[in-house]
Amino acid sequence: MQLTPHKLSCPYCGARIRLLIDETAGYQQYVEDCEVCCQPMVVCVESGFGDGCQVSLTDENEALWTDY
């Protein structure tokens, strides 16, 4: 496991936050609370983008959950 820092904006309060993402784990979708406003964000990690991955944060009420 290799954790890589990613800086993103909370979909609720807009604060810049830092998440440590395991880029070797393939597709991931999980809930993590914002460290500033404590609201639940859905974190979606997709690999296959060169050497890194794509990370997105979504409001829990707007998230489209995918079962893999």
Count the alpha carbons within 13 Å of 24 in the hemisphere toward its beta carbon.
4
Average confidence score pLDDT of the chain: 87
Q: Please, which pLDDT band fits residue 24 given cuts at 50, 70 and 90?
A: confident
**Would 64 be classed as within a structural domain?**
no
Position 66 scores a pLDDT of 57
**Would 43 be classed as within a structural domain?**
yes
**Would 65 be classed as within a structural domain?**
no
Helix, strand, coil shares of the chain, percent, nearest 5, are 0, 55, 45
**Would 68 be classed as within a structural domain?**
no
What's at 18, amino acid-wise?
R
**Would 39 be classed as within a structural domain?**
yes
Indicate the number of domains in the chain. 1
**Domain extent for 48:** 3-59
Position 40 scores a pLDDT of 94
**Would 18 be classed as within a structural domain?**
yes
Percent of the chain at pLDDT above 70? 85
